[in-house]
Amino acid sequence: MRSFLVRALAISLLSSLVLMTWLVLQEQRASAFPHDNSQKPQELTALDSAGKFNLYEVKSSWTDQNSNSVNFNKFSGKPALVGFIYTTCVLTCDILTLQMKELESLLPQKWQGKIQFITFSIDPETDTPEKLHKYAARFDALSESWSFLTSSKEATKEMTKQFSFYYQKNGDVFLHSEMLAVIDKNGNLVHQFWGGYSPEKVVTVFQQLKDKGLF
Over the chain (215 residues), the average pLDDT of each successive run of 10 is 40 41 42 37 44 89 97 96 95 92 92 96 97 97 97 97 94 92 96 85 93 94
**DSSP strand pairing (69-70 vs 173-176):** unpaired
The pLDDT assigned to 141 comes to: 96
The pLDDT assigned to 32 comes to: 39
CB 60 within 8 A of CB 151: yes
C-alpha–C-alpha distance, residues 16 and 39, integer Å: 30
The pLDDT assigned to 67 comes to: 97
Among 103, 50, 105, residue whose Cα is nearest residue 81: 103
Domain range summary for the chain, segments of one domain joined by +: 1-32, 55-211
Reported pTM: 0.78
The pLDDT assigned to 51 comes to: 52
CATH of domain 55-211: 3.40.30.10
The pLDDT assigned to 90 comes to: 81
Helix-, strand-, coil-residue percentages of the chain, each rounded to 5: 40, 20, 40
